[in-house]
Amino acid sequence: MHPTDANCVFCKIVAGQIPSFRLYEDDDTIAFMDINPVNDGHALAVVKGHYPNLHAIPADVLGKVAATAQRIARAQQAALNPSGINLLQANGPGAGQTVFHLHFHVLPRTAQDDDLKVNWGHNPGDMARIKQIHEKLLKAM
């Protein structure tokens, strides 16, 4: 059994209580498109259990989330041909963490000068565009 928190948005996504554009799932992890993408293809690799941050998660489970992030990055490279990919994992409000359930952002970069700031604002994405990119990535999974 995974630890869970009934008030947590990612636990609700894991449980299927909130819809998501899901890219991948295994026993310990899931991956889905970020709803406020900073770039096309912005996806999240998420542990299924409710571990709030890097300090709380067992190392072997962290390894499993990292492997899922790698899987997403490979699909992004194949489907979107970005100029680069960043992994970002925030711990605590001071690091910009807003969902306290461990996840990696997997961020395709469009160009070296795309001006991505680490603490970007949350601007609602275009659902049709997220869906379109989701379908493109799914084919590469």
Residues designated as active site: 103
Radius of gyration in angstroms for the set of CA atoms belonging to the chain, rounded to a whole number: 14
Binder of Zn ion out of 42, 48, 50, 134 (CB under 5 A): 50
Among the listed ranges 1-9, 15-23, 102-110, 122-130, the one in contact with Zn ion (CB under 5 A) is 1-9
Binding site for ligand 5GP (CB under 6 A): 9, 18, 20, 32-36, 90, 96-99, 122
Q: What is the DSSP string of 40-100?
A: TT-EEEEESS---STTTS-HHHHHHHHHHHHHHHHHHHHHH--SEEEEE---SGGGT--S-
Q: Give yes or no for residue 28 binding Zn ion (CB under 5 A).
A: no
Q: Give yes or no for residue 10 binding Zn ion (CB under 5 A).
A: yes
